[in-house]
Every structure is written in C-alpha cells, then in structure tokens.
Amino acid sequence: MAKTAILFAGQGAQVVGMGQDLVETFPVARDLFARADEALGYDLTQVCFEGPEEALTQTENAQPGIFLVSWAALEVLKAQAPSFKFEAAAGLSLGEFTALTAAGVMTFEDGLRVVRQRGRFMQEACDATEGGMAAVIGLDEDATREVCAAAEVELANLNCPGQLVISGTAAGIEKACELAKERGAKRALSLPVAGAYHSRLMESACPKLETALREVDLNLPAVPVVSNVTAQPHATAGEILQRLVEQVTSPVRWEASIRYLIDDGFTRFIELGPGTALTGFMRRIDRGLEVHNVADVPSLEKTVAALSE
C-alpha cells in the first residue's frame, strides 16, 4: 500500500477564478467558502472568483484565498474518494499553515484568520522595505550561496534541483542576478512579488505573527507535518509556534522536506489547491514518484480515478 503525503502551495499560486468550479459543483466547497467569508468578515469568495487580479494578489487576500481553495480541494477529495487517507503533510511557506490545519493542529477558521493576519503583517514589512526576490535557474546551491554573500542577499527557497530563489534589497537582487549569470546560471530573473519574503527584511512581521499564533489553540498534529525551517516533522505545539514564526525570515527547505518524506517511504504525493508548481518541483526531485493534483473539477476527477485503481 502506497504511503501518501498531501502538499499545499504557497503564495504566487493564486489566479482569479480559483475554486469557482469546485463551489459550483460540490456543496462541501460552497459551505467552506461561506464559512470563510463569515470568519473573516468580508467577501473573500468574490475576490477569489472575480478579482480584480490586483486585489487577489495583495498578500492579505492571496494568503487566505490560497488557504481556502486548498482546503476546499482537500475536503472535496475526501468526499469524492471516501477511502482516501494521507499519512503526512507538507506545505511551501503559506502552505505549511494549510498542512498543519489538515493535520488537526488548528481549526479551519483559526487557520484562515491567522494566514490573513500573516499576510497583512508581511505586507506591512514589504511596505517598510525596498525588497524583492529572484529565481536562479541552473546554478547549484553552493555557487548560489556565494552569489548571495557577494550581493548581500539571502537564499529564500530551495525548491528542487536547479531552481533556487533569492531574496533581499532591490539593489542586492539586481547585483545577485548579474553575478549569477556570470557564474553560469541559465537564468536569473526578478519575480513579481511585493517584497523580500523569507529574508531578514521580514523581521518586523515576526513578533506580530507570534502574538497572533499565541491566541490560537495549537494541537499536536495527527500525522507528521514537515517543517519548512528544519525539513523534519514538527513535534510539540510550542515548537510549531516557534517554527512558524522563524519561517517568515528563514529559507524554505522544500527539496529537503520532500526528500525526508521519500526516505521515510512515501511514494504518492497529492498537491491540493491552485496551480501545479509543487507537482513540477516533484518531477525534478524524483520522476519515479506518483504525483497527482486537485485544483479544479477536471484535476479532481483524474485524481479520484487514479486513487480508485
């Protein structure tokens, strides 16, 4: 029997219209979107379905929006494949909150409210700093770290072989891209983001997020959830809180997290929520794995069919 892990994407996966066909097709999704609007006190559903894109891209909307669509994808999958079970969870950046919620650490409403606050705190940090991020393609980790040191920026995401993301001041990112190309990177391009996520420029968000998390009841996870910071499963509730705060300024060790799960015997991975970025990373980490995704009705139907085989 294949061991199954569920995966949740981070910010950047948002797209206007996300979740709409799930809501129109499945009552469980419709109920979740209604609960989300009530919990947050505004019409997140409309922002997800109709945008405009500028509104959905705002961090304080994108984060709860992606969380909500990802959660709806999980609940619809459970309803359509009643025998479906997962034995571990992981999520990239924002997605780690969804993974922890899926493992029972937080309630749906608490998770949603916390990621809304997290998005606002991070946006405030972005507004107070001149920061940016860039993807570095085709350069190994050691060489990229040398580039980061020379340009005084930081390694933010270790996604998969050949794809790393750096973060820092706008001037530092520009310099780092030039240096990376000189060192042999196939590409080094700035990303359309609001600021320098997963870098020290986000430090002002940390105490605010810690305060918000201390107002939430955190339970032990029912299944292992791999931490972005350590690439190891979370342990105590206190550690979960600390790691989620550290995650704001720490690099996301995504490839190491997935390799931990592979080494632990996991062979089936299901990405839940908008986009297929994590599925793409999985292909580059190990093409021999079974990987599915649920983002909308067609991908749901494919995954349900695959699970029933």
Fold of 131-190: Alpha-Beta Plaits (3.30.70)
The pTM assigned to this predicted structure is 0.96
- pLDDT tens digits for 75-110? 999 999 999 999 999 999 999 999 999 999 999 999
Please give the pLDDT value at position 146: 97
Please give the pLDDT value at position 193: 84
Under CATH, domain 3-127+204-308 is a member of which superfamily?
Answer: Malonyl-Coenzyme A Acyl Carrier Protein, domain 2 (3.40.366.10)
Question: Catalytic site residue 190?
Answer: no
Please give the pLDDT value at position 1: 76
Please give the pLDDT value at position 142: 95
Question: Catalytic site residue 167?
Answer: no
Which of the residues 93, 167, 227, 250 is marked catalytic?
93
Please give the pLDDT value at position 277: 95
Please give the pLDDT value at position 192: 80
Please give the pLDDT value at position 309: 84
With contact defined as beta carbons under 8 Å apart, do 198 and 154 qualify? yes
Q: What is the H or E stretch that residue 272 is in?
A: strand 266-272
Q: Which of 179, 178, 153 is nearest to 166 (CA)?
A: 153
Q: What Cα–Cα distance (Å) separates residue 6 from each residue in 146, 185, 268?
A: 34, 32, 9
- Residue 84 CB neighbour total at 10 angstroms: 17
- Residue ranges per domain, the chain? 3-127+204-308, 131-190
Please give the pLDDT value at position 89: 98
Q: Please give the average pLDDT of every successive group of 10 residues along the chain, which has 309 residues.
A: 93 95 98 98 97 92 97 98 97 98 98 97 94 95 96 97 95 97 95 90 98 97 98 96 98 98 98 96 95 98 95
Three-class SS string for 158-212? EEECCEEEEEEEHHHHHHHHHHHHHCCCCEEEECCCCCCCCCHHHCCHHHHHHHH
Please give the pLDDT value at position 194: 83
Which of the residues 70, 198, 227, 234 is marked catalytic?
198
Q: Which of 172, 64, 36 is nearest to 123 (CA)?
A: 64
